[in-house]
Amino acid sequence: MTSSPTDSSSPRRPAVGRRAVLGAAAAASAPALLGLSAPASAAPASATPAAAPAAAPSPRKRPRALPGGGDLGPNVIVFDPSTPGIQAKLDEVFKKQESAQFGTGRYALLFKPGTYHGLNAQIGFYTSIAGLGLSPDDTTINGDVTVDAGWFDGNATQNFWRSAENLAIVPVSGTNRWAVAQAAPFRRMHVRGGLNLAPDGYGWASGGYIADSRIDGQVGPYSQQQWYTRDSAIGGWLNAVWNMVFSGVEGAPAQSFPDPPYTTLDTTPVSREKPFLYLDGGDYRVFLPEKRTNARGVTWGNGTPRGTSLPLSQFYVAKPGVTAATLNQALAQGLHLLLTPGIYHLDQPVQVNRADTVVLGLGYATLIPDNGVTALKVADVDGVRLAGFLIDAGPVNSATLLEVGPQGASADHSANPTTVQDVFIRIGGAGPGKATTSMVINSRHTIVDHTWVWRADHGDGVGWETNRADYGVRVNGDDVLATGLFVEHFNKYDVQWYGQRGRTIFFQNEKAYDAPNQAAIQNGSVKGYAAYKVADSVTAHEGWGLGSYCYYNVDPSIVQHHGFAAPDTAGVTFHHLLVVSLSGNGQYEHVINDTGSPTSGTSTVPSTVVSYP
């Protein structure tokens, strides 16, 4: 995702075109704009290699047991209503993080239950703000939790890697501004007013994700090109640009794709909210929400949410600088992992072998695999919860960065699936990085709930071969559900789906900007690799609200045959597909397979398919 300058000829209306290369001039004004209608169970020993040294004869002593619990480190800043200088501290963190897109700072701002007055918490890069109650309404800010784009001349298309969670907000003006792009979740929030998803001046924006939240007033996306809202309640929704998707949302607009482009599902088939840290008296615990089927609305509407909790003493509280061996020792002891904000270099995979293990990051804790290893691997066990961290590829190519289940995983996890939530992956941007396949899902019934898997198109270490990454997400397991899937810029396929009965609700994609020529993306006899490819062997698959965009700015003559490819069989169905050529930099010939009209010229108007086949 890169930026496109605002159309200066129409300062009061947001331009619709998408990101151009950083610093590039605007290609053209975009007429097809907002279209505002009226404005711990133990694993078998064989699955736990980290425990093997203890059983083998050795003169060495068993490692001393690691402690659970402990302090959360210097980059977790905890406030209570009596804390002096809260606004000054918020401003201090924001000043460091406002434009630090590829910096090393990581922060979690945590508010104890109570009421806070007169605050404006501006949220910059790698900053998470959260309440510490069981319900958002336990922690009320009479003020704002703000994301804007002043640092980038009013363009919000690079407002990545930040989050808000578990707070009630009473906005000063009646409306809170949350102008974000990818990897910026808004979870378990109660906005006692409206929510504006556009930057000041209504410049370009490219988000976004809301879950388990209640917005009492209207949500105004304005210039947001796409958005996914899940299991929430809203007072209304103002408009749509290209692709707005809702599942399980009370108050969502009626389904009307493609005009306006609303995809609305009454319920979400399966969901389980993200784990979160909270205070029980003076003690920290981690709440584990229960699984819901055919979910609709928030989990906390009647007070205490349903689920279980764990004391912090059952977590190894990791600090930056800890080794992968220590993290694995903690897991082998039966501890969960709480990753405090910072950067963690790994010389071996973090290996999660025990059912129901929680790996929870705070403040965008970042894992960097060294020497081509995989950052994290999960065994074929029930109920693992991965949440709230970033994996940054290292300069030596990794075959994979995240593996959920080993190759050939086949156990039935329908009663207690593994969830991957707000786990983001980046290849390049903060420096050279390479990975053949970023995320591999082998375990059945896995739920991937909000991810951004991004081969960088700007920053350091960026180039067609410099941050080579052929494949984004590969799903081998059956019965996998993706809710909020953002995958961009891979050299070949962005998503490959081999498992049966897979489902995706909302997909956002850009093809790689930097392909040097047509030959570089040629896929046999096919022009270009589809953004989302369902394998020919698949007999059952379904998707709702999927979009792919191209911006081949190095060679604008490149032609992409289609955005989506799937077998022509009755069990493989899609609803509400679109492809967009951004200002004519490359074109699509079709939407899916050989179906759908080509994009044309520089119009930046989507070509759509309402249903397939």
What are the CB-based long-range contacts (under 8 Å, 24+) for 50-58? 50/328, 50/329, 50/331, 50/332, 50/351, 50/353, 51/332
Q: What angle do CA 131, 136, 139 make, to 5 degrees?
A: 55
Virtual CA dihedral for 194, 124, 472, 563, nearest 10 degrees?
A: 40
Residue type, 553: N
* Residue in 513, 533, 538 with CA at minimum distance from that of residue 523: 533
Write 46-51 long-range contacts (CB < 8 A, 24+). 47/353, 47/379, 47/381, 48/332, 48/353, 48/354, 49/351, 49/353, 50/328, 50/329, 50/331, 50/332, 50/351, 50/353, 51/332
Distances (CA, A) of 555 to 184, 270, 517, 558: 31, 42, 6, 6
Give the residue from 404, 296, 418 showing the smallest Cα distance to 357.
Answer: 418
Can you tell me which residue has the tokens 């609200």? 545
If residue 91 lies in a helix (H) or strand (E), which one and from where to where? helix 86-97
Identify the helix (H) or strand (E) that includes residue 330: helix 324-332
User: Active site residue: 290, 488, 510, 542, which one?
Assistant: 510
Tokens 């961009």 belong to residue: 488
Alpha-carbon span 339 to 330, nearest angstrom? 12
Q: Is residue 460 within 8 Å of 418, Cβ to Cβ?
A: no
Handedness of CA 167, 173, 174, 177 (dihedral sign): negative
Nearest Cα to Cα of residue 506 among 219, 256, 264, 180: 264
Residues 384 and 351 sit within 8 Å (Cβ to Cβ): no
Q: Which residues contact 253 (CB under 8 A, 6 or more apart)?
A: 237, 244, 246, 260, 262, 264
510 is catalytic: yes
Phi then psi for residue 452, to 5 deg, are -125, 115
592 contacts 564 by C-beta, under 8 angstroms: yes
Question: Of 325, 341, 385, 380, nearest to 359 (Cα)?
Answer: 385
Amino acid identity of residue 478, one-letter, is D
Distance CA 39, CA 575 (A): 27
Bridge-partner residues for 107, per DSSP?
127
Token output for 450:
């909000």
Q: Which residues are catalytic?
A: 510
